[in-house]
């Protein structure tokens, strides 16, 4: 009787351990929610308080951090390679020269190194900071799987494979598909443009082309854009989501419907038959918030490095 009970308890223990293992690998590649609960319990709260401190002082940093995470994941995976400084790195490449928020990640890293040296990766800090930036902008929170390690390689030319402001839906779909993301993810993640700005030079050809104004823009919107973006001032910036650049909401999609999309790559999501149904679908705020979290988790596991594949950098701007 006792032997049977012992065997039953062993079977239950094995089942529990197996369940834990499944939970920990559910996101693939070794990341899971609560990765630092034993090794650095304050990790997420330290990142959160750091991001909050900076974003409260400068709300524009929220969009910068979110964009940085996206740019990191789309080149070599979510390994913090975009944070590495140097003349030939991703960080110095043209598509990344306007990225902002490095000081926020560095500040969080310094605080974490003081309490948990060599434990929390820069890649994880960036993923957590992106989530916290969305929350501080009015979006819903989500649980971020952690456990990424930092990459040791950053090559500037590879940044030119990032989605661009003039990409067609077909090109965008190919770039997203190459990363394991689908058309729905494309539209949802583009919705991150509900916060942030774009340089006038990234869409000035839509306003000042020799062939006339881009017909996909609402003609009544053109004078407004030209006032903000005079023809010879390409470095000036305009909100990607007119009237709501600091609020994480669905007005970005409403603006696409009104033909008020700023970037060509955004407006084509409305004009293309394959993406328009998703734009219409995500005009609902609650649904968009839920699906955005899912797509961010999915994107956050692109090319993740774990164990010996990477390292835990002492400073996010340089490999060890």
Q: Hey, which residues are catalytic here? A: 71
Distance (Å, rounded) from C-alpha 98 to C-alpha 89? Answer: 14
DSSP state of 210: T
CA dihedral over 315, 58, 241, 138, signed as positive or negative: positive
Distance (Å, rounded) from C-alpha 79 to C-alpha 72? Answer: 7
In contact, 240 and 197? CB cutoff 8 Å = yes
Token pair listed for 66: 């979110």
What are the start-end ranges of the E strands in the chain? Answer: 197-199, 237-239
Token pair listed for 26: 């559910």
In contact, 69 and 130? CB cutoff 8 Å = yes
In contact, 313 and 81? CB cutoff 8 Å = no
Question: Residue 59 class from Cβ within 10 Å (0-12 exposed, 13-18 middle, 19+ buried)?
Answer: middle
Query: Other C-beta atoms within 10 Å of 21: how many?
Result: 11
């Amino acid at each position: 009787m006792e032997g049977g009970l012992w065997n039953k308890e062993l079977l239950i223990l094995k089942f529990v351990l197996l369940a834990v293992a499944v939970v920990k690998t559910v996101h693939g590649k070794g990341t899971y929610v609560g990765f630092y609960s034993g090794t650095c319990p304050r990790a997420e709260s330290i990142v959160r308080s750091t991001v909050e401190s900076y974003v409260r002082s400068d709300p524009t940093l929220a969009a910068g951090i979110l964009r940085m995470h996206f740019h990191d994941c789309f080149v070599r995976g979510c390994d913090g390679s975009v944070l590495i400084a140097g003349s030939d790195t991703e960080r110095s490449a043209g598509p990344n020269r306007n990225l902002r928020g490095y000081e926020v990640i560095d500040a969080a890293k310094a605080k974490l190194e003081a309490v948990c040296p060599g434990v929390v990766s820069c890649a994880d800090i960036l993923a957590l900071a992106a989530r916290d930036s969305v929350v501080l902008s009015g979006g819903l929170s989500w649980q971020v799987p952690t456990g990424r390690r930092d990459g040791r390689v950053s090559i500037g030319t590879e940044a030119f494979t990032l989605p661009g402001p003039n990409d067609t839906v077909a090109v965008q779909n190919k770039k997203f598909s190459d990363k394991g993301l689908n058309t729905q993810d494309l539209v949802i993640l583009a919705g991150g443009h509900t916060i942030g700005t774009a340089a006038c030079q990234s869409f000035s050809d839509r306003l000042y082309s020799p062939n006339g104004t881009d017909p996909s823009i609402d003609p009544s919107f053109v004078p407004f854009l030209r006032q903000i973006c005079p023809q010879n001032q390409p470095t000036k910036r305009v909100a990607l989501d007119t009237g709501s650049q600091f609020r994480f909401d669905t007005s970005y999609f409403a603006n696409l419907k009104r033909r008020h999309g700023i970037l060509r790559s955004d407006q084509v999501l409305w004009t293309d038959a394959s993406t328009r149904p998703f734009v219409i679908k995500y005009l609902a705020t609650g649904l968009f918030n839920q699906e955005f979290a899912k797509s961010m988790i999915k994107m956050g596991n692109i090319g993740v490095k774990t164990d010996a594949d990477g390292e835990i950098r002492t400073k996010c701007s340089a490999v060890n």
